Structure 1
Amino acid sequence: MTPVCVLVGPPGAGKSTVGQALAALLEVPFADTDALIETTAGKPIPDIFVEDGEPAFRALERVAVADALAGFDGVLALGGGAIMDDGTRAALAAHRVVYLSVELSDAVKRVGLGAGRPMLSVNPRATLKYLMDQRRPLYESVATHTVATDGRTPQEIAELLAARLDT
């Protein structure tokens, strides 16, 4: 059992929204590793960051991603920072990975300025730009497909991906 595809990208790229639309089009389940982590931890991600720290969150994330890559057969969305882990990037090599790219202006419009996103709690715009610049080469390195999401609706992106994945 392996995911139909794995969506990666920065906050605001549309991984969850596009992923749900794509899963509906392909008639497969959808999973988001952030939601899986919250279920496992029994609390929201911001609480994990505050109460347990980022290292604890990243440890939960590594396990959630590895488990989903090994045992989930739908569309899987990874949290924006999951690709920072060497083991996760290595594991993604065996999968169809779609990098949903987004420019800073669209990302800021989509995520707002940090509500519920612990990595964006201080100086959200500058932090988001830094994270996007830092992670872009990693997203590109794991991607088998790249789709720019700027100016497109989630449904348009999902339809484009469904056509690409079908070939």
Structure 2
Amino acid sequence: MSPLLVLVGPMGVGKSTVGRLLAERLGVGYRDTDEDIVAAEGRTIADIFVEEGEPAFRALEKSAVRTALSEHDGVVALGGGAILDADTRALLAGQRVVYLSMDVEEAVRRTGLNAARPLLAVNPRKQWRELMEARRHLYEEAATAVVPTDGRTPEEVTEAALDALELKEA
């Protein structure tokens, strides 16, 4: 079993919103690996970062992604940093992967780059740019399709993703 499609991209790009819309339009289930981690751990991702650090969170994330990719046949959304793991990238090879992209101004507008985002606690614009410089090529390498989200509604992004993958609605 493998997902119908996997969404990757930075925090705040709309993976959860678009993922739910895609699942609905395609008549399949939706799964978010960040939500899986929160449910399994009984605490927020921010709390995991603060209490145990990023390496501990990344280990939980890697396991959650592996499980979701092997168990779920619908739409799966990965956390923004999941792409950093080489094993995760290997699991994405051969999958339909949509990279939802946005620029820093859109990120600021959407997320407010707020404190609930543990990697962006200090100087959020600069940190967001640095995260994207480290991750953009990984998102692009994993992607079957790149769908820009800047200035688009979730419905428009959903439509663009369906078109890019040539998927038919249920």
- Pick the TM interval, shorter chain: over 0.9
Distance 2:164 2:122 in 1: 38
Task: State the 1:99 CA deviation.
Answer: 0.5
Task: State the 1:48 CA deviation.
Answer: 0.3
Distance 1:98 1:70 in 2: 18
Task: State the 1:12 CA deviation.
Answer: 2.2
Distance 1:44 1:24 in 2: 26
Q: Which residue of 2 aligns with 1:9?
A: 9
Distance 1:76 1:115 in 2: 25
Distance 2:44 2:12 in 1: 18
Percent identity over the alignment is 57
Deviations 1:80-134 (A, max 9, x none): 0000001001110021100111111001111112231111111111111110111
Tell me the C-alpha RMSD between the 2 structures: 1.1
Task: State the 1:77 CA deviation.
Answer: 0.6
Do structure 1's residue 84 and structure 2's residue 84 form an aligned pair?
yes
Task: State the 1:160 CA deviation.
Answer: 2.0
TM-score (norm 2): 0.94
CA contact (8 A) 1:12 1:106 kept: no
Task: State the 1:164 CA deviation.
Answer: 3.1
CA contact (8 A) 2:103 2:150 kept: yes
Task: Look up the SS of the partner of 1:6 in the other structure.
Answer: strand
TM-score (norm 1): 0.96
Do structure 1's residue 154 and structure 2's residue 154 form an aligned pair?
yes
For 1:57-136, what aligned pairs fall within 5 Å after superposition? Answer: 57-136=57-136
Distance 2:10 2:113 in 1: 14
Task: State the 1:163 CA deviation.
Answer: 3.0
Distance 2:140 2:163 in 1: 20
CA contact (8 A) 2:107 2:113 kept: no
Q: Which ranges of structure 2 fall in alignment gaps of 5 or more residues?
A: none
Distance 2:109 2:18 in 1: 16
Distance 1:55 1:12 in 2: 21
Give, as a single letter, the amino acid of the residue that structure 2 aligns with 1:22. Answer: L
Distance 1:115 1:73 in 2: 33
Task: State the 1:162 CA deviation.
Answer: 2.1
Distance 2:112 2:37 in 1: 22
Task: State the 1:40 CA deviation.
Answer: 1.2
Distance 2:106 2:148 in 1: 11
